[in-house]
Structure 1
Amino acid sequence: MKQVFFVCALLIGVVTSAQTYNKFDSNGKRDGEWKKNFDNTDVLRYEGTFSNGEEIGVFKFYKNINGKALLTATREFKPNTKEAKVTFFASNGKVISEGRMRDKTYIGDWKYYHNNSTQLMTLEHYNTKGFLEGVRYIYYPQGQVAEKSLYEHGKLNGKAIGYAENGNVIKIHHYKMGALHGEAQFFDEAGELLVEGMYKNDQKNGVWKYYENGQLKEEKDFTAKSNNPYKRTN
């Protein structure tokens, strides 16, 4: 008799536990803990908690890898907003990138990391409309700055600088709302000038100068109406 009672109690517990997921409130909105599987499988696709139809707390999202659920992202929702802190993961559990989103729009600072390392690879900022805005940094695997550029409403705008691993500047570009426009210079890793010239609307313009061992070796005139596009000096 005691064994029958124990089995019944166990079954009731299992049923009750199953019924705590995927429920709706009196207004027909999702409420409480939810779990969903990939179609026609028992592999978990996501899990999280709803309140009055809105996501709250941390949601976890998975990939179906050979019939197993592998964590691919988390979203931690900020109360009373559509914003969430989002983290993406590699198959080994390492963080790939992290930042904030409003619905599907990237906002604020976002960080991206090098493969097989916790070292920051890219740091960028998105405005409230989801466009890149302000300074964007790219880093070498050892942490040195590789590139610094400026964005305005999603487009490169202003001075962009590239660096060698030793910290020396190796290139300088200027942009005007996404197009190369203005002075450009290229250097070797020792910091010696190699090439300099001007861009206009993404095209080389005017006289470009080429150097070797610190000496001017060649000039090329990219002016559209130039009758002498190549001029050599030795």
Structure 2
Amino acid sequence: MVREYLYSSEEFKIEDSELGISFLDSVNLPKVDHTLDCNKDLGNEFSYQVVKDPEDVITRSFTTKNDKIDGSLVFFFSNGKKKGQSHYKDGKLHGPSYFYSEEGLVISESWYIHGLQQGRSKQNYIGGELYASLQFLDGKQEGQQEYFYENGQQKTLTFFKKGVLEGKSLLFFENGVVFREMTYENGVRCGIEILRSEDGAIKEETDHEALKKEAEQKLKEKEAKLKEEQEKATPTS
């Protein structure tokens, strides 16, 4: 299985065989110090710009080309430390996007291609522990999505297809016991849904297929009754 995510001064590359992503783009951007506190012409149609708060402290800096953000956009905390950094091309997110805690730990990492989120994304708790491991394809959730408790224990496990829930979904207690088990087909719950207590004992089972058939039968009966009433109300010649 191939999995490579790379953004350098020369190229932007994503190879992820599991998600079916194979992308390569050249990178040719001017070098710039994002701590510069004044706007600057960088040549070749590029410029560097800063935005400050009322206290004259930089809140973000970025490079533009033809009046669109092109290159890096950097956000800062009030103490001057980096809060986040995203990459753009022609005004659209293009490359990795990172956000940090004031201690410098990565809070989130995501990747974009021409404005659409692609590939693997991670979100962390403030302390650095993994909070979520997600997957995207063309801006929509795709495949396995996982969330975790702060102690590292898995919290949820779901699967998506083109942004819609598909397949098994599991929700866990913090002790690792599955407390809810569901199955989705094209975003709709189906099959048997199981609800458990913290010791693993089954509390409730719901048969969604049976509920669906019951609802369909009630609808048929309602329509038949309505038709009968309409026929009775129609005068005969």
Shorter-chain TM band? 0.5 to 0.7
Cross-structure match for 2:139:
154
TM-score of the pair, normalised by structure 1? 0.67
Q: Which of 74, 96, 102 is 1:87 aligned to?
A: 74
In 2, the alpha carbon distance for the partners of 1:133 and 1:227 equals: 41
SS of the residue aligned with 1:117?
Answer: coil
Higher relative contact order (CA 8 A, sep 6+): 2
1:227 and 2:214 matched: yes
1:108 and 2:95 correspond: yes
Secondary structure in 2 matching 1:227: helix
Tell me, yes or no, if the aligned pair for 1:180 and 1:202 is still in contact at 8 Å: yes
* Preserved CA contact (<8 Å) 1:48 1:55: no
Mark the CA change 1:64 to 1:170 in structure 2 (over 3 Å): closer, same or farther: closer
What is the CA-CA distance between 1:206 and the residue it aligns to?
A: 2.2
RMSD: 2.4
Contact 2:51/2:61 (<8 A) preserved: no
For residues 129 and 169 of structure 2, what CA distance do their matches in structure 1 show?
22
Q: Which structure has the larger Rg over C-alpha atoms?
A: 1
Q: How is 1:125-136 mapped onto 2 (pairs within 5 angstroms)?
A: 125-127=111-113, 129-136=114-121
Quote the residue 2:19 is aligned against: none
Q: Which residues of 2 match residues 61-76 of structure 1 at below 5 A?
A: 61-65=50-54, 68-75=55-62
In the TM superposition, what whole-angstrom CA distance separates every residue of 1:183-206 from its partner, at most 9, and x where no partner exists? 100111111111101122333222
Q: Which amino acid aligns with 2:40?
A: G
Q: Between Structure 1 and Structure 2, how many residues are aligned?
A: 174
Gaps of 5+ in 1: 1-44, 229-234
Identical residues among aligned pairs (%): 24
1:46: how far off?
5.7
Counterpart of 1:120?
A: 106
CA distance in structure 1 between the partners assigned to 2:188 and 2:103 by the alignment: 38
Deviation at 1:152, TM superposition (A): 0.1
Which AA in structure 2 matches 1:51? G
Deviation at 1:226, TM superposition (A): 3.3
Any conservation in 2 of the 1:109–1:125 contact (CA below 8 Å)?
Answer: yes
Match of 1:206 among 184, 191, 197: 191
In 1: Cα distance, 2:122 partner to 2:107 partner: 8
- Misfit runs of 4+, over 6 Å: none
